[in-house]
């Protein structure tokens, strides 16, 4: 599991982006986790999610902010046992 701390610019969220659900009001976001860290230590970007129609129409993404991974699951390396002692 990874944890991402992020800061979002809420002034970019329009009322039409927020929808009402059974338990509250929601905003769908998409988070991109990059392989490299930028000059500020961030490796994640957050945008308002787009519909397929918006993506097909090549509408510009609404960038909300960025973040940094602070915890990550450790993947164990598997070593093949080929019978060699070295």
Question: Strands 29-33 and 25-27, how do they pair?
Answer: unpaired
Q: What is the pTM of this model?
A: 0.75
Per-residue pLDDT, 2: 80
User: Measuring CA to CA, how many Å separate 85 from each of 78, 81, 82?
Assistant: 17, 9, 9
Let me know if 4 is exposed, middle or buried by CB neighbors in 10 A (0-12, 13-18, 19+). middle
Per residue in 18-64, pLDDT (tens digit) is 999 999 999 999 999 999 999 999 999 999 999 999 999 999 999 99
Q: Which residue has the higher pLDDT, 78 or 10?
A: 10
Q: Which residue has the higher pLDDT, 78 or 82?
A: 82
pLDDT band of residue 77 (cuts 50, 70, 90) is very low
């Amino acid at each position: 599991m990874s944890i991402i701390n992020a800061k979002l610019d809420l002034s970019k969220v329009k009322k039409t982006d927020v929808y009402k659900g059974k338990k509250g009001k929601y905003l769908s976001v998409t988070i991109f986790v990059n392989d490299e860290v930028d000059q500020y230590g961030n490796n994640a970007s957050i945008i308002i999610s787009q519909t397929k129609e918006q993506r097909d129409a090549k509408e510009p993404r609404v960038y909300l902010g960025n973040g940094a991974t602070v915890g990550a699951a450790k993947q164990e390396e598997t070593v093949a046992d080929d019978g060699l002692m070295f």
